[in-house]
Amino acid sequence: MRLDLAIRGGTVVTASDEFIADVGVAGGRIVAVARDLPEAREDVDATGLLVMPGGVDAHCHVDEPEYMGARLADDFASATRAAACGGTTTIMPFANQLPGLSLRQAVEDYHERAHGKALIDYAFHLIVSDVSGSLIGQDLPALIADGYRSFKVFMTYPGYMLDDRQILEVMDAARRGGAVTMVHAENGHCVHWLSQRLEAAGRTGLDSFAESAPSAVEREATHRTIALAQITGAKVMIVHVSSAEALEQIRWGQDRGISVLAETCPQYLLGMGHHLHEPGWEAAKHICSPPPRGEDDAAQLWRGLQQGAFQLVSSDHCPYRFASGDGKRSQGGEHPHFRKVPPGLPGLETRLPLLYHEGVTQGRLTRQQFVALTAVNPARIYGLYPRKGSLMPGADADIALWKYGEHRTLRHADLHDECDYTPYEGRDLSAWPVVTFSRGEKVWDRGWVSSAAGRGRHIDDRSPS
Ligand code: DUC
Ligand code: ZN
Ligand code: ZN
Ligand code: ZN
Please write the tens of the pLDDT for every residue from 419-445. Answer: 999 999 999 999 999 999 999 999 999
Find the 359 Cα to ligand 2 centroid distance in Å.
Answer: 23
Other Cβ atoms less than 10 A from the Cβ of 378: the count is 27
Find out whether the peptide bond into 266 is cis, omega within 30 degrees of 0: no
Query: For residue 187, what is the DSSP state?
Result: -
Q: Is 61 in the pocket of ligand 1 (CB under 6 A)?
A: yes
In sequence order, the β-bridge partners of residue 180 are 150, 235
How high is the ipTM of this complex? 0.90
What confidence tens digit (pLDDT) does each residue in 79-133 have?
999 999 999 999 999 999 988 899 999 999 999 999 999 999 999 999 999 999 9
For ligand 1, whether the C-beta of 96 sits within 6 Å is: no
Q: Give the DSSP letter string of 84-121.
A: HHTTEEEEEEEEEPPTTS-HHHHHHHHHHHHTTT-SSE
Q: Which of 255, 385, 380, 358 is nearest to 311 (CA)?
A: 380
Residue of 288, 341, 348, 419 with the most ligand 1 atoms within 8 Å of its CB, for mutation: 288
Q: Report the alpha-carbon distance of residue 103 to residue 128 in Å, rounded.
A: 7
Q: Which amino acid is at 50?
A: L
> Per-residue pLDDT tens for 247-270?
999 999 999 999 999 999 999 999
430 CA from centroid of ligand 4 (Å): 6
Grouping H, G, I as helix, E, B as strand and the rest as coil, residue 1 is coil
Instruction: Verify whether ligand 1 is closer than 6 Å to residue 120 (CB atom).
Output: no
Burial call 405-438: b when 16+ CB within 10 Å, e when fewer:
eeeeebebeebbbbbbbbbbeebebbbbbbbbbb
- Residue 289 near ligand 1, beta carbon < 6 Å: yes
Hey, which residues does 429 pair with through a beta bridge? Answer: 408
What is the Å distance from ligand 3's center to 338 Cα? 19
Distance 163 CA to ligand 2 centre (A): 16
**Burial degree of 214 (CB within 10 A; 0-12, 13-18, 19+):** middle
According to the model, what pLDDT value does residue 395 have? 98
- Of the candidates 89, 45, 9, the residue with the CA atom closest to the CA atom of residue 349: 89
Domain boundaries, the chain: 3-53+387-418+428-449, 55-373
Rg of the Cα atoms in the chain = 21
Which of ligand 1's atoms lies nearest the C-alpha of 157? Answer: 8
With beta carbons less than 8 A apart as the criterion, state whether 253 and 224 touch.
no
Residue 193, C-beta contacts closer than 8 angstroms, at least 6 positions apart: none
Residue 141: CB partners within 8 Å, gap ≥ 6?
A: 173, 176, 177
- Consecutive H or E run containing 217: helix 215-232
For residue 391, the SS3 value is coil
Q: Which ligand is nearest to the CA of 288?
A: 1
CA of 396 to the centre of ligand 1 (A): 30
Q: Which atom of ligand 1 is nearest to the CA of 288?
A: 3
Name residues of the chain where pLDDT drops below 70.
332, 461-465
Domain 55-373, what fold?
TIM Barrel (3.20.20)
Query: What is the predicted pLDDT for the residue at 106?
Result: 96
Q: How many helices (H) and strands (E) does the chain have?
A: 13, 18
pTM exceeds 0.95, yes or no: yes
Ligand 1 atom at minimal distance to the Cα of residue 239: 8
Q: Which ligand is nearest to the CA of 314?
A: 3
Tell how far the Cα of 318 is from the centroid of ligand 3, in angstroms: 7
Q: Is the minimum distance from the CB of 288 to ligand 1 under 6 angstroms?
A: yes
pLDDT value at position 20? 98
Ligand 1 contacts CB of residue 318 (under 6 A): yes
Instruction: Give, for ligand 1, the residue of 154, 286, 316, 338 to mutate: max count of ligand atoms closer than 8 Å to Cβ.
Output: 316
Ligand nearest to the backbone CA of 154? 2
Domains 3-53+387-418+428-449 and 55-373 share a fold: no
Specify the residue with its C-alpha closest to ligand 1, atom 8. 289
Cβ neighbour number for residue 204 with a 10 Å cutoff: 17
CA distance 260 to 223: 11
Query: Closest Cα to residue 346, out of 421, 425, 433, 426?
Result: 421
Q: Length of the chain in residues, anyone?
A: 465
- Best CATH choice for the domain 3-53+387-418+428-449 from the list 2.60.120.260, 2.30.40.10, 2.40.110.10, 3.40.50.1820: 2.30.40.10
Name the nearest CA neighbour of 52 among 21, 95, 80, 11.
Answer: 11
CA 287 to ligand 1: nearest atom? 3
* pLDDT on residue 465: 45
Å from CA of 180 to ligand 2 middle = 15
463 membership: H or E segment, kind and range = none
pLDDT on residue 191: 98
Q: Which residues surround ligand 4, an ion (CB under 5 A)?
A: 407, 428
Please tell me the predicted confidence (pLDDT) of residue 463: 58
Most distant CA atoms of the chain, gap in Å: 73
On whether the CB atoms of residues 348 and 55 are closer than 8 A, the answer is: no
Query: What span, in angstroms and rounded, lies between the C-alpha atoms of 214 and 276?
Result: 13
Element (H, E) at 278: none
Q: Whose CA is nearest to atom 5 of ligand 1?
A: 344
Cβ proximity of 155 and 186 under 8 Å: yes
Predicted pLDDT at 331: 81
Candidate from 68, 162, 240, 320 with most ligand 1 atoms within 8 A of CB, to mutate: 240
* pLDDT value for 324: 84
Contact 15, 368 (CB under 8 A): yes
The verdict on the CB of residue 343 being under 6 Å from ligand 1 is yes
Report the atom number in ligand 1 closest to the C-alpha of 154. Answer: 8
Residue nearest to atom 4 of ligand 1 (CA): 344
Spatial separation of the C-alpha atoms in residues 61 and 193, rounded to whole Å: 27
Among the bound ligands, the one closest to the CA of 428: 4
